[in-house]
Structure 1
Amino acid sequence: MRSRLVGFIGILWFGGLLLPSTVLAQAGGSISGLVTDTTGGILPGVSVEAASPVLIEGKLSAISDTAGRYTIVQLRPGTYTVTFTLAGFQTLVREGLVLVGDAALQVNAQLPVGQLEQSVTVTGQSPLVDVQQVRGQFVTTRDMMDVLPGANTFAGRALLIPGVANQGMGDGQYWPAAHGNTWRDAQTANDGMRANVIIDDGQWQMGWEMNQAATAELSYELSGAPAEIQGGGVIQNAIPKEGGNRFAGTFFTSLSNESLAASNADATLLKQLGAVNRNAYDYVINPGFGGPILKDKLWFFGAFNRRERKVWQGGSFFTGEGTPEQRAKNGFPAAGTQGYIQEWANSGLMRITHSLSSKHKYRLGFERIGTKYPLVDTDNTRPPESGDRIPQPVGYHTQLRWTSTLTNKLLLEAGLAVQYNKWRREQFEWNAGQKSSYDNLYNSNWSGAFWITGRSPATCALTSTSTRPETTIRSRTRGWASPSA
């Protein structure tokens, strides 16, 4: 059975080598350091264990090498206890070590001479500076997401980073940019694997959207990214929740409407425009729940997200174009009503984490996505009837990640992520003769990587990831017929 598992993982990893490298490879932090005695002499052969409730294995371990160094990689964000043991020396326990994002914590240890039964427990702050990496990284922790105001999206949380600005693609879609880059240089990843695809000759980026109830942390790479990452834009990565050994849930909701908003529009402005932009309503319902199916063996986590918004457009009014049946089908109000843009989206996901043994585990996730824009492309330069509707009848994101700790010095990992969207931008019936856009977006990522730990804190020996977008487009030309033309 073990040989089959290793063989299967090897095939996935080798398959990744045949494809060009384009995206992230490593997802997870690390703890490393030097172990010595109280005189400064190096101590090889020390058993080092990192334990945390966020690990389905309970703990991960390493052995210090001949130089006294150790490294434990692929650690999830959380609070860790690190234990050092060696025959003839007292056991040393370091508690309260907080690991965020992909940080590399340096935890050195000095072991006093004594019996194993004797232990020294040290509780203190985690290292504040990552001295192992030169990457410019910003991490939005779960506490920050829960407490700080602002949109719980990649773009919304990116505004917490100095020097980052969001740039719009249209239809309310925004991507972060920094250091002179544009939104076209940005990349989105879920658990380290790319989850977006560029279409329309770089005019749009589409794909997976973050479900904040199912996200443990958000990390942003601004500079110093590893060589396996293509491009120099902002790299945004969602670190997923896995569940745990106890049942726990979260519930987030927000609501705003006209009665909760203020306006500085005076009589002069209203006389010129007739009406100004204002929020009709905007709400989010986002619950999540997870726990054990089998403790220390099989965990689950599920989440649902419903959001809907409607914004009245200043200076835009319905003209009454189309038959009564056509207008009723599209939910259009009577002529003279102020124009608006509207969207709603539903998504639901289920994630399973299974520890087959102390050395092998996998995580499988499936997310179903549905988005609809009943009315877009409307502003004060044209009537709402000249806009478009965008139904997204099908969308899903599937991801599999397999991790195997083969020895104390060799960790092997394989992954697969598939993103599929049917994107439809349709004209209204009275705009006959104009073309609509039909995109079938298939985006797959195969990745294979292994890490060898030795004299350096963590050496990524080889990694390869491939993105293969396959797009079927019936017509990419969009047009609007003005009823007044």
Structure 2
Amino acid sequence: MYRAAPMTAANRRHAKFTRSRFPPGLRMNIISPQGACVAPQGQGEDWVMTMLQRVMAWIVGAALVTGTALGQSNLATVTGVVTDSAGGAIPGAALEIVNTGTGIDRNVVSDDTGNYTVTNLAPGTYEVRVTHRGFRAWKTTGLVLQVGQQARVDVAMEVGSVTESVTVNASQVTVNTENGTIKGDVIVQAEIQELPLDGRDFTDLAFFVPGVVPRAQGGQGSALNINGARASNTNFYVDGFNNRNARGAAAQVRPNIDAMQEFKMEVSGYSAEYGKFAGGILNMVLKSGTNQTHGTLFHYIRNDKFDARGFFEGDKNKLRRNQFGATVNGPIVKNRTFYLASFEGYTQILENTRLGRTIPDLERAGDFTQSLNFSNARLFLRDPLAPGTCTASSAGGCFPGNIIPQSRIDPVARKLLTYYPRPNRGGPNNYTVTAADEDKWYSFLVKIDHRFSEKDNVAFRYQKRFDRGASPFSGSDLGTFGFTTKNDRSLSGLDWTHM
């Protein structure tokens, strides 16, 4: 087997590998800047499973030649001790923990001291079942595990027949006593989907966490300041993969909120696996498919036709904003292979009215007799070829009458003047223009989860975002020299969990 050496850049295209045994419990994240997977439709479950295994092997191979990095864990852990009613340890108890959404289970046995630990559990809802000869079967339901959580579930078994059972509500047994992390908060799926979000930007929910405030206007980095740290000291993860844009210090990609399971804000006291930044950690977790198919569809519209005109406004400026998308997830093969697919798009045309100053007609002809300086005083135009000074008290160095002779105006300057618009209103700001900014982006996301066996699970995700923009204004309010933007971003990664 191959073990990836740690790397500092998620999108580095070369990696070093060391040949060694793959130790049980190691979770390897393989990150590549590019990648996609298209699986053909087949006939028969055996054929589908064969093709899925080939596709997974192809994904692993493709990822290995592009770049690797050991990612931060977004998975959960359950630990505890199995005892009898008198508090004595019960070794050899059989524990089964089942994800109620996917049906995927994990089995462990308590050790000689009755302790057990189940690691690398995807966030979700679980059942824990415990059996041992001479004791009633024990079960807890509704155990909700969140991103990065280390939950403790202690089991107290009662003497009786294994055909008898004791069921406990999970809220009565889960306690976090395993680390000193000040978790900040976990924003769960219901909060993400139900709370109003302008532009569907989930990072706005981070402001519910104590210690998180908006970044100062005009600052660099993410939109968050956490516990007084700089906005550039915030780090972002998606399923444990580094999602930080090294140039802008903000999130590289933003998943569709309908594709998110939850996200966790860690504001202080987090473990050394994150490191590098003094601010907080925002760890996003994508949904995984379950044995039932689920989907969402949305389209939000803003249009000036629906808006009222302001009391002091003339004509309404044009506004056409559309934000739309869809998400679907479900099984490919029940209890084994699941998918998540999501698309989101955003288009906006927004008119802006600007005031500026262009060159008046008199000045185009060299006549500055009506021109004023920034203090609204008369402007004295200096002749670079004349001796003396050019002031209100001594005008020997000025153009006579503040008029430039036609013979002194350079032909190239005359051509350049044609690129400047003519005035269309009076006053110092003698030009007004209404022009539209255009902004659009499209984001695609796919995730595949596959279970080879109880000891090996693979999850592959890929997201691509295309940003396009155009503005007629670029450092000037005249609208004559605009600019366009083109920015394509992607994040891909492969999880291989081997127990």
Q: TM-score, normalised by structure 1?
A: 0.67
8 Å CA contact 2:29–2:494 kept in 1: the answer is: no
Tell me which residue corresponds to 1:294: 333
Q: Which amino acid aligns with 2:272?
A: A
The answer to whether the 8 Å contact 1:311/1:341 transfers is yes
- What corresponds to 2:386 in structure 1? none
For 2:220 and 2:435, the matched residues in 1 are separated by 16
The one-letter amino acid paired with 1:346 is: Y
Measure, in 2, the Cα distance between the counterparts of 1:285 and 1:168. 30
- 1:371 partnered with 2:498: no
**Structure 1: tracts of 5 or more residues without a match:** 325-334, 406-485
Which residue, out of 240, 245, 255, partners 1:210? 255
Q: Which residue of 2 aligns with 1:84?
A: 130
Q: What is the one-letter code of the residue matched to 1:399? A: G
The 1-side partners of 2:22 and 2:217 are apart by 39
Look up the match of 2:496: 402
Aligned to 2:485: 390
What's the CA shift for 1:143?
A: 0.9
Q: Alpha carbons of 1:68 and 1:12: their partners in 2 closer, same or farther (altered >3 Å)? A: closer
Q: Is contact 1:171-1:376 (8 Å) kept?
A: no
By how many angstroms is 1:363 displaced? 0.9
Shift of residue 153 of structure 1? 2.5
Paired residues for 1:431-450 under 5 Å = none
Q: Which runs of 4+ in 1 moved over 6 A?
A: 168-173, 317-324
| Conserved 8 A contact 2:337-2:451 | yes
For each residue in 1:266-321, what CA deviation from the matched residue of structure 2 results, as whole angstroms up to 9, or x when unmatched? Answer: 64xx6xxx999x88243321211122121112111111110123444464579899
Residue 246 (structure 2) pairs with residue 198 (structure 1): yes
Q: Do the aligned residues in 2 keep the contact of 1:254 with 1:285 (CA within 8 Å)?
A: yes
Q: Which residue of 2 aligns with 1:305?
A: 344
In the alignment, structure 1 residue 225 sits paired with structure 2 residue 289: no
Change (3 A) 1:227 1:117: same
Indicate the SS of the match to 1:207.
coil
Q: C-alpha displacement at 1:227, in angstroms? A: 0.9
Partner amino acid for 1:382? D
1:175–1:183 contact (8 Å) kept in structure 2 = yes
Mean Cα displacement is larger for which, 122-131 or 7-16? 7-16
**Residues 1:42 and 2:42 are matched in the alignment:** no
Amino acid at match of 1:62: V
Q: State the one-letter code of the partner of 1:182.
A: R
Q: What SS does the corresponding residue of 1:223 show, helix, strand or coil?
A: coil
CA distance in 2, matches of 1:243, 1:24: 22
Deviation for aligned residue 1:81: 1.0
1:360 aligned residue (438, 453, 456): 456
The match for 2:195 is 148
Q: Which moved more, 1:171-180 or 1:284-293?
A: 171-180
Q: 1:161 aligns with which of 197, 200, 209?
A: 209
| Cα drift, residue 402 of structure 1 | 0.3
1:53 corresponds to:
100
Q: Which residue of 2 aligns with 1:247?
A: 293
User: Corresponding residue for 1:282?
Assistant: 321
Partner Cα distance (1:323, 1:399) in 2: 50
Tell me if the contact between 2:222 and 2:249 (Cα under 8 Å) persists in the aligned partners: no
Distance in structure 1 (CA, Å) of the matches to 2:82 and 2:148 = 23
Aligned counterpart, 1:29: 76
Aligned residue for 1:40, secondary structure, equals: coil
Cα contact 2:93–2:110 (8 A) shared by 1? yes
User: Which of the two has higher C-alpha Rg?
Assistant: 2
Q: Which residue of 1 aligns with 2:224?
A: 176
User: Is the contact made by 2:446 and 2:463 (CA closer than 8 Å) also made in structure 1?
Assistant: yes
Q: CA RMSD in A?
A: 3.9
Take 2:96 and 2:134, find their aligned partners in 1: how far apart are those partners? Answer: 18
Contact 2:211 2:267 in 1 (8 A): no
1:15–1:382 CA distance, 2 compared to 1 (3 A): closer
Equivalents in 1 of 2:355, 2:28: separation in Å?
55
Which residue pairs with 2:439 in the alignment? 343
Q: Which moved more, 1:350-359 or 1:161-170?
A: 161-170
Task: Name the count of aligned residue pairs.
Answer: 376
When residues 47 and 27 of structure 1 are mapped into structure 2, their CA distance, relative to the original with a 3 A threshold, is same
Match of 1:237 in 2: 283
SS at match of 1:89: coil
Q: What SS class does the counterpart of residue 354 from structure 1 fall into?
A: strand
Report the counterpart of residue 43 of structure 2 in structure 1. none
2-side partners of 1:129 and 1:281: how far apart?
50
> Is the 8 Å Cα contact of residues 27 and 497 (structure 2) preserved in structure 1?
no
Q: CA–CA distance in 2 between the matches of 1:281 and 1:26? A: 41
- Which residue pairs with 1:449 in the alignment? none
Structure 1 residue matching 2:267: 3-state secondary structure: strand
Identity over aligned pairs, percent: 22
CA distance in 2, matches of 1:376, 1:189: 35
Q: 2:193 touches 2:258 (CA, 8 Å); kept in 1? A: no
SS at match of 2:491: strand
Corresponding letter in the other structure for 1:223:
S
Instruction: Using the TM superposition, give the Cα deviation of residue 102 of structure 1 relative to its aligned residue in structure 2, in angstroms.
Output: 2.0
